[in-house]
Chains A and B, each alone.
Chain A
Amino acid sequence: MQIIETKNLTHIYNKGSVFEKIALDDINLSINAGEIVALIGHTGSGKSTLIQHFNGLLMPTLGDVFIAGDSTGDKTKLKSIRQKAGLVFQYPEHQLFEPTVYADVAFGPTKMGLGQDEIDTRTREALKLVGLTEDCFEKSPFELSGGQKRRAAIAGVLAMRPEVLILDEPAAGLDPRGKDEILSQIQKMHTELGITVILVSHSMDDAAKLAQRILVMERGRITIDGSPTEVFSQGEVLQAIGLDLPQISKLMNRLAQENPAIQKGVFSLDAAAAELLTLARKGAEK
């Protein structure tokens, strides 16, 4: 089932003025329920504009966006669309405002007009999902560490029980430990909840760790759409538009130039080691 579908989606900023800029150019995209997709592109490629269309924060200049079959142009559906497509902005911890972590996470469900019990259930569930324990609930969000704050903010969106979770640079600015924690938690949510995940990033390494499918954006268009291995084997194309490969893919693509038996586009450390060991074993057998 398609959870997100865009038809000829075009978005033009400041239409008709001297600053007119085509941010999205005729995008036709469909994302199936349960996918985990990374959206890659450098600053200004249109990533942020695209994801803001997914929950009706921006409206297409031309074309349509459908979330679970409903057009974002349908005003009566907007509320349910915003609930279905949960959007976590870059540095989401900047949006925390309630006196306690618990109250902040409960903000979304409260706005949905749910009963008190349901709000409580969802709030606790969301906090648990991001790995925040009971002792944090009554703390001020500002007492938490950087990584915890970010997880609290993500919980605030999860508490609305979205069908698709869209995260803009979820690991930006965190230290390596915080980064790993966030990424593995996203992975966990995907497997445990079966939720669709869209990860926006300019880090190929992060994308490689999680995604089953990678979309590369350039100048408002989706220029590459494929599995990580497919995408990362096109090193030249990516570098031409100013994107870096994961270090391991870069290395493996270089090795593949020397010996074509090596699989291009391999991006995980373990797969790369396995690839080289297989090659060595074959050599030894000869």
Chain B
Amino acid sequence: MFKSQNLSFEYAPHDSNPPPLTLKNINISIQTGEFVAILGHNGSGKSTLARHLNALLTPTEGTLWVNGLDTKDPASTWGIRQSTGMVFQNPDNQIVATIVEEDVAFGAENLGVPPEEIRRRVDDSLAKVGMLAYASHQPHQLSGGQKQRIAIAGVLAMRPSCIVFDEPTAMLDPSGRKEVLSAAANLNKEGITIILITHFMEEAAVANRVLVMEDGEIILDGTPREVFSQVDKMQALGLGVPQPTALAHKLRQAGFNISPTILTIDEFMQDETVKKILKGQANANN
């Protein structure tokens, strides 16, 4: 789906406000159907990388291919943006129309899809995110989570093979976060590649691959288990790990033989050593 070779990016000097974010020598390959979470601090280059994935930005050096198309080739731009949709952080700043279904139709309209087909896609996409009942509502009267689902539907109506989520839950409350995350997970099950940029470790734990960025470079790349089992490194980066992982780590430091790959509460409960502790049968160093 995506492949980059020595991708580097530098904001033009006149754009030095906010301070220049750069990408340094990124070599990455992402397969169709993956669910990739990207973690990192503000300024680590996550959003810049995300914007490369649908040719909103193009590399200063190196190359990025999306489905084999070079993002630097202007002739490919629209094809790339069709195949890779984006959902941004602020729900209010990405909805164009004053009626939900009109907004969902916007992308497909830009692609020149015939009207009956757009109608079908709009209904279909709204149904997929559970918002069909709101088709004729005004977006500003919806909750944050609902607005984000509208934005997802708008991308879906373009029939993309990948959706890039740029901190889609940062401005939402817990129920809104759940709505958006489960929508993303469902789409992944249908074969759509998901790239999720987030600050929430629990969200990243759901992905099947985690990339950690720092100073414009990818410094960790692996399954959530591989990445989060490096508790000390993640904490040193100031990113942290899911809480169950952190607790397991603490117990392991105290000498208990608890699995280093625990990510969720359920996994914690299932751990043999934890079971022993609960039954009062555990000793340190066993």
Contact = CB atoms under 8 A, between A and B. Distances in A.
Direct contact between the two chains A and B in their complex (CB within 8 A): yes
Nearest to B253: A273
Contacts of B144: 43
A146 B256 contact: no
B239 interface: yes
A283 B42 contact: no
Contact of B41 (A42, A176, A279): A176
Contact of B199 (A175, A259, A283): A175
A214 interface: no
B282 A273 contact: no
A172 interface: yes
Contact of B280 (A43, A147, A178, A282): A282
A286 B171 contact: no
A202 B254 contact: no
B283 A176 contact: no
A284 B174 CA distance: 40
B97 interface: no
B241 to A, nearest CB: 11
A270 B253 CA distance: 12
B282 A180 contact: no
Interface in B238-274: 238-240, 242-244, 246-247, 250-251, 254, 256, 265, 268-269, 274
B175 interface: yes
Interface string A268-286: 0110110011011011101
Contact of B239 (A147, A173, A176, A272): A176
Nearest to B171: A173
B174 A243 contact: yes
A255 interface: yes
A42 B174 contact: yes
A250 interface: yes
Contacts of B281: 283
A243 B282 CA distance: 34
A242 B173 CA distance: 11
Nearest to A277: B254
B278 A273 contact: no
B175 A279 contact: no
Contact of B247 (A262, A273, A279): A273
A247 B277 CA distance: 20
B170 interface: yes
Nearest to A249: B243
Interface in B33-56: 41-43
B42 A146 contact: yes
**Count class of interface residues, chain A:** 35 or more
A42 B250 contact: no
A284 B282 contact: yes
A283 B250 contact: no
B238 A177 contact: yes
B279 interface: yes
Contacts of A242: 174-175
A269 B143 CA distance: 33
Given A43-B144, A247-B243, A286-B280, A175 B41 contact: yes
Interface in B17-32: 17-18
B143 A43 contact: yes
B283 A284 contact: yes
A180 B239 CA distance: 10
Contacts of A286: 280
A176 B238 contact: yes
Contacts of B199: 174-176, 179
Contacts of A15: none
A284 B278 CA distance: 12
B61 interface: no
Contact of A251 (B42, B173, B202, B244): B244
Contacts of B280: 259, 279-280, 282-283, 286
Contact of B278 (A203, A244, A259): A259
A270 B247 CA distance: 8
Contact of A250 (B17, B173, B265): B265
Contact of B243 (A142, A175, A251, A262): A251
Interface string A139-157: 0001101110000000000
Given A251-B243, A259-B279, A279-B278, 15 more contacts: A43-B143, A173-B170, A173-B171, A177-B41, A202-B174, A203-B174, A243-B174, A246-B243, A251-B268, A255-B278, A273-B251, A276-B277, A277-B254, A279-B277, A283-B281
15 contacts: A42-B173, A43-B143, A173-B89, A176-B199, A176-B238, A177-B41, A178-B42, A180-B238, A202-B173, A255-B269, A258-B269, A269-B246, A279-B278, A279-B280, A280-B284
Considering the complex of A and B, which 5 residue pairs feature the smallest CB-CB distances, nearest first? A283-B280, A247-B243, A273-B250, A177-B238, A202-B173
